[in-house]
Amino acid sequence: MQKTEKLILASKSPRRQELLGMICRQFTVITADVDEDRICDGFLDRRDTFADYDSLAAEMVKSLADAKATAVATAVAPLADRVILAADTIVVLDEEVLGKPRDRDEAKEMFYRLSGREHRVFTGVHILAQDRSESFHAEAKVRFYPPDDFTRKCIDFYAAGGSSLDKAGAYGIQDEGAFFVQSIDGDFFTVMGLPVAETARRLYSYLPDLFF
């Protein structure tokens, strides 16, 4: 069996690895395949059972994180004294989830749809240990600048670089995607992919020896 640190990050996202590194240096990255489309479609099929779209989005993103953690737990079983951390992020405009763009043209289309408007970013987190688990989510509201000459040039430049293709909503707030952002209501790190402060506080109860 592969030897791992006590903390396992169930995400191949370099951004989440960077953010978790702010909390703790001792962790291992292990991922497993999850059918994200099936999970999202299942929630959308039950849309009428939720009070509003925000409630649906919150439960959806927590379920995605849960599925990732569970898949990794199955792959490394028995879990013993290890803890798995998983997270997922979605971007919601009006009542639509904007996933990762399929190509550069779709990325540009997403940017123009987001321009001059407010959208919401939901990040769900799941912590899984042998004897307990928990999920939570964080939300931030992000407003993009209205379309103008600078915005259009940024869209062309950013989409052409290709880095938007692996990001929900086609942008990363930690890179040139920041040029689009006029304001944020909420936690910056939630938009980046992991609410650092709350994650650290919750992880502390599982692995206090990894802190300080």
Q: Is the peptide bond before 78 cis (omega within 30 degrees of 0)?
A: yes
Strand partners, 83: 7
Dist. CA 112–CA 90, nearest whole Å: 18
Residues with catalytic roles = 88
Burial class (CB in 10 A: 0-12, 13-18, 19+), 45: exposed
Tokens of 168: 């929900």
CA angle 59, 103, 137 (to 5 degrees): 15
Strand partners, 7: 83
CA nearest neighbour of 61 among 35, 89, 84: 89
Cβ(115)–Cβ(151) below 8 Å: yes
What is the identity of the amino acid at 72? V
Dist. CA 82–CA 76, nearest whole Å: 10
Bridging pattern class, strands 83-93 and 118-128: antiparallel
Dist. CA 161–CA 166, nearest whole Å: 12
